[in-house]
């Protein structure tokens, strides 16, 4: 089955700096890669996603890049703010006719300091 690895496990940046979180996946058939943000005790919330036919996607301060050849994808957050502090999870899925279950990474705890 799919295996997703995520690094780093913790990341501390100063407000205004950029943060980068990296993930690798094992199954070349994976074609959908979402990123979720989870605050303490809250639900995972989708912040951005990318499909395998796209190399990069941007939404305001958040961007995701995908390298299918190397089987890795990254989350970039620019101009970080204290409210960006949370745990971020990458995920991968193989979209089939009936299922699109997600395999998650182990998470990155992002701390944005003042």
Partner 1 sequence: DTGVSQNPRHKITKRGQNVTFRCDPISEHNRLYWYRQTLGQGPEFLTYFQNEAQLEKSRLLSDRFSAERPKGSFSTLEIQRTEQGDSAMYLCASSKTGVNTIYFGEGSWLTVV
Residues that bind partner 1 (CB under 8 A): 4, 6, 32, 34, 36, 42-46, 49, 51, 89, 91, 93, 95, 98-107
Please state the closest distance from residue 79 (CB atom) to partner 1, in A: 26
Please state the closest distance from residue 1 (CB atom) to partner 1, in A: 9
Which of 70, 97 has the CB closer to partner 1? 97
Please state the closest distance from residue 80 (CB atom) to partner 1, in A: 22
**Rg (alpha carbons) of the chain, rounded to whole number:** 14
Taking Cα atoms as reference points, which of 72, 30, 78 lies closest to residue 55? 72
CA-to-CA distance for 21 and 29, rounded, in angstroms?
22
Which of 51, 58 has the CB closer to partner 1? 51
Pairing of strands 108-113, 56-59: unpaired
The answer to whether the CB of 81 falls within 8 A of the CB of 89 is no
């Amino acid at each position: 089955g799919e295996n997703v690895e995520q690094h780093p496990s913790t990341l501390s940046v100063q407000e205004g700096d950029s943060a980068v979180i990296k993930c690798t996946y094992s199954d070349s058939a994976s074609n959908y890669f979402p990123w979720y943000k989870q605050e303490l005790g809250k639900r995972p919330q989708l912040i951005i996603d990318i499909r395998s036919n796209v190399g990069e996607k941007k939404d305001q301060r958040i961007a995701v890049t995908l390298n299918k050849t190397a089987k890795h994808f990254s989350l970039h957050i620019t101009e970080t703010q204290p409210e960006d502090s949370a745990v971020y999870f990458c995920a991968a899925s193989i979209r089939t006719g009936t299922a699109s279950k997600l395999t998650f990474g182990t998470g990155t705890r992002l701390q944005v300091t003042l």
